[in-house]
Structure formats: C-alpha cells, structure tokens
A and B are shown apart, each in its own frame.
Chain A
C-alpha cells in the first residue's frame, strides 16, 4: 500500500499570509507513460463532505479560487494557499490514485492565527 504522510498536522496562519501543506508518498505516484502524478488535494470543512481542489497534483478544479495551487512530482507534493482567507479554515487531505488501495494522508488542519 502507498502510505501518504502530510506535514504539519496543523498550522495557524494569519489572514492574508501563505499556508503551505506538504504531502509525501511512500512510493512514486508519477506514471511515466503519461507524465502525470496521480494525486489530488481535498478541502473538508466541519460537517461537510470533502471538496476536490486539485487533481493531477497541480490542476485546479473548476471554480476553485486561484489562491490554491498544487505542486510537486514523484513522491513530494505541496498545497499552497497564497493568501489565507477566513473561509479557508478546514482540514486538507492529499490522496493518491496511482493504485489501489486508494489512500489518503492523515489530514492537515488549517486555522487562523
């Protein structure tokens, strides 16, 4: 199984400042045949289902604000919120879909400082 490890577990960022979440996979999730990283990022607010933010590691889902960006390749990935807004308070998860079992990171809780 591919183990997904996020860091940090939680972070507090001032409004308007940058938030950075890291995700590391225990093996590469890059398919060399199509040069795509099989990794998504989700946002989950309390009492709500997850919301897809980023897929293929760096492609923003339609309607997602451009302050959210994803980067990385192979085993190391980053979700960046360039200017934190109050509505971004949530838990963020990475997930690999390179193979089954599909696996998630443990989540990173983002709060306002």
Chain B
C-alpha cells in the first residue's frame, strides 16, 4: 500500500530555514516523479517543486533560488530544503507521488501534509 508521511514543519522566523521530509512506502520514489505542493491558510493549492524519476528538477518562480528539492533513494525519502523563508511561505506542505515518471502528470497519492509557519 502506498503511503507518504511528511515531517519537519514548524514555526520559523523570517529569513530562517527548514528541511521537510517525505518518507514513502509501498513504491520506489525513483520510479515516479514526486512533487511538493503547498496550501496557505484558507487558500488554494500551489505547486512548489517536482523531481522526475530521472532526476530532472523544476521549481515555481516564487521559490526558485531559495528552495531545493532532493531525494535519498536508499531511504526512499523526498526532501525540501527551504531557506530565506518569508511570511508568504506559511502553508501546509504536501508531498505527492505522480502517476508516472514525468513532471507532466497528476498526483495520485498525497501525504497528510506538514505545517510551516513563518513568523517573528
């Protein structure tokens, strides 16, 4: 059974850093594209970043240069390193498994999310 479990969220001051993790089970993350999608309080869904099965990486303009997506194949875990955090990065961050190996696909499994709050 496919399962995704995010962790690493919390309260951080503006300009600070956090690393989110998404532990996957039931499949190999190297076989599928994996994404981070966020949702600000009371708002809609916003795509953040994707890593394809081949390792190609894509970012939203709003996080480019500040966030880094990566994966540890041996741990079957996806990461999102977030630096220079801003108040507007406050959101629940979801990891999602794509239906295929490409960024060009929808997410068929999602984690429960981890909350990031950027505030002084």
**Does A pair with B?**
yes
Q: Which residues of B contact A100 (CB under 8 A)?
A: 50, 58, 103
Any A CB within 8 A of the CB of B104: yes
Q: Mark A27-53, 1 if CB is under 8 A from B, else 0.
A: 000000000001010101000111110
Size band of the interface chain A makes with B = 20 to 34
How many of B's residues come within 8 Å of A, CB to CB? Answer: 23
Q: Which residues of B contact A102 (CB under 8 A)?
A: 35, 47, 50, 103
Q: Is the interface of A mostly helix, strand, loop or mixed?
A: loop
Chain B contacts with A in 16-48, Cβ cutoff 8 A: 35, 37, 44-47
Chain B contacts with A in 74-120, Cβ cutoff 8 A: 94, 96, 99, 103-108, 110-113
Question: Is the CB–CB distance between B47 and A103 below 8 Å?
Answer: yes
Question: Is the CB–CB distance between A97 and B58 below 8 Å?
Answer: no
Q: Which residues of B contact A105 (CB under 8 A)?
A: 44
Residue with the highest number of chain A CB atoms closer than 10 Å, among B45, B105, B106 = B106
- Which residues from chain B sit less than 8 Å from chain A, CB to CB? 35, 37, 44-47, 50, 58, 60-61, 94, 96, 99, 103-108, 110-113
- Which residues from chain A sit less than 8 Å from chain B, CB to CB? 38, 40, 42, 44, 48-52, 55, 61, 93, 95, 97-107
